[in-house]
Homo-oligomer: A and B are copies of this chain.
Amino acid sequence: MSGNTIGKLFTVTTFGESHGIAIGGVVDGCPPGLALNEADLQGDLDRRKPGTSRYTTARREDDEVKILSGVFEGKSTGTSIGLLINNKDQRSQDYSKIKDSFRPGHADYTYQQKFGFRDYRGGGRSSARETAVRVAAGGIAKKYLKQQYGIEVRGYLSQLGPIAVDKVDHSVTNTNPFFCPDETKLEALDAYMRDLKKEGNSIGAKVSVSAINVPVGLGEPVFDRLDADIAHAMMGINAVKGVEIGDGFEVVNQKGTEHRDEMSPEGFHTNHAGGILGGISSGQEIIVHMALKPTSSISISGESVDINGQSDEVITKGRHDPCVGIRAVPIAEAMLAIVLMDHLLRHRAQNSLVNSITPIIPAQR
């Protein structure tokens, strides 16, 4: 298999399995001169890391990232940045049961078929553990975007099972273990997750991520549109089954007069498009939603087969997130930052004026 790299000019390549020695990666294409150290990346890693609340897996990992190269005297040199995170709390024995059978709804089956065998410990390469590296890499992009362009990327949980948020207050998101931006839903979420754990079940979720201050003009028609690359990045997050830009599936029953975002010299009147028109950023807020399926690693027995095709019952012991959507919030932010960074560099290649272009109308309205 190949395919462990994303991006064209700002590229992120990852390696590592859930229960291997370490996970890590290479970030290639960071411009020189960016002030950068491990602390810049640790904040988001801590947001993503397991073992921080009773709503996520009990596995405890420090997720301390080391920058092995590409930074000298506190600044990026313009060369490739090596990232390393050691694995610590593996309990591989938990997985001996699934060594020879497949969790229904899990990549166990497809990995076995594709590769002929698989690292079954903790899901091996298919584990969400790999996303820690994406978060570290995304941290580099985030810092550059914020510092050079004032771009801010912000994610949040927008729905968990039947509980949808009613309002988005970004100042609330990081004050609770759900990344929920609506304080009035915290109690309901807590109660729901308690019951779910008791039940031994898992639940799906909807995660949203947006970016403000994105310059107008990012995105390469025809195939490498900004929205297409965002869709690629988000659908590449473990468990994601749907991606929307702006109004998403609501557009199916919208008329042209409802959907189009009218403009006046003061700016756009609305943002149904989610900040992207014709695959190119409009300068408005970029808005992305995604749906994450309930994890298949649950302690309720399911019908399955073993590697010989014989009937089997599977119960997942191990330690798992009952809602993988929660910890997906910093991952989604990282992926959006990586895509924006890549397109920013691509855009600059064509036009060195991106800092100075005067938008015809003000953005962000």
Q: Which of A41-49, A119-127, A166-174, A180-188 contacts B (4 or more CB under 8 A)?
A: A119-127
Does the CB pair B110–A15 fall under 8 Å?
A: no
Residues from chain B with a CB closer than 8 A to the CB of A125 are 69, 77, 79-80, 221-222
For chain A, residues 221 to 274, give those with C-beta under 8 angstroms from any C-beta of chain B.
221-225, 227-236, 238, 240-265, 269, 272-274
Residue of B nearest to A11 (CB): B2
Most buried by B among A82, A118, A206: A82
- In this complex, the member of A8, A33, A114, A247 whose beta carbon has the largest number of chain B beta carbons within 10 angstroms is A114
| Cross-chain contact B253 with A204 (CB below 8 angstroms) | yes
Is A213 interfacial (CB 8 A cutoff)?
A: no
Bound CA span A348–B305, Å: 26
Task: Say whether A256 contacts B221, CB under 8 Å.
Answer: no
Q: Which residue of B lies closest to A120 (CB)?
A: B72
Given A221-B1, A231-B234, A304-B262: A309 in contact with B242 (beta carbons within 8 A): no
Instruction: Answer whether residue A5 sits at the interface, using C-beta atoms and an 8 A cutoff.
Output: yes
Count the A residues whose beta carbon is within 8 Å of the partner chain — how many? 163
CA of A203 to CA of B3 in the docked complex: distance in angstroms? 38
> Are B2 and A220 neighbours in the complex by a CB distance under 8 Å?
yes
Check A280–B111 contact: CB distance below 8 A: yes
Q: Does A56 contact B (CB under 8 A)?
A: no
* CB-based nearest B residue for A199: B255
* Nearest CB on B from A114, distance (A): 4
Across the interface, A228 reaches (CB within 8 A) one of B114, B232, B247, namely B232
- Given A69-B16, A249-B242, A251-B294, also A3-B28 (CB < 8 A): yes
Most interface-central of A201, A235, A345 (chain B CB within 10 A) = A235
Q: Give the shortest distance, in Å, between A75 (CB) and chain B (any CB).
A: 7
Complex: how many Å from CA A81 to CA B78?
A: 24
| A223 and chain B: residue at smallest CB distance | B6
B349-A253 in contact (CB<8A)? no
Whether, in the assembled complex, A361 has its beta carbon less than 8 Å from a beta carbon of chain B, the answer is: yes
- Decide if B245 touches A241 in the complex (CB within 8 Å): yes
Report the bound CA distance from A250 to B24 in whole Å. Answer: 33
A317 to chain B, nearest CB (A): 15
Residue of B nearest to A111 (CB): B278
- In contact, B265 and A15 (Cβ under 8 angstroms): no
Partner pick for A15 among B32, B81, B219, B300, CB 8 A cutoff: B81
Further 12 A-B residue pairs, CB within 8 A, beyond A3-B220, A203-B254, A241-B249: A5-B11, A23-B82, A24-B24, A72-B119, A79-B125, A109-B263, A111-B280, A159-B252, A242-B243, A257-B302, A260-B294, A262-B304
Top 4 closest A-B pairs, CB basis? A107-B278, A3-B220, A3-B224, A105-B260
A–B complex contacts, Cβ < 8 Å, 6 sampled: A2-B224, A15-B68, A113-B216, A257-B298, A273-B293, A352-B354
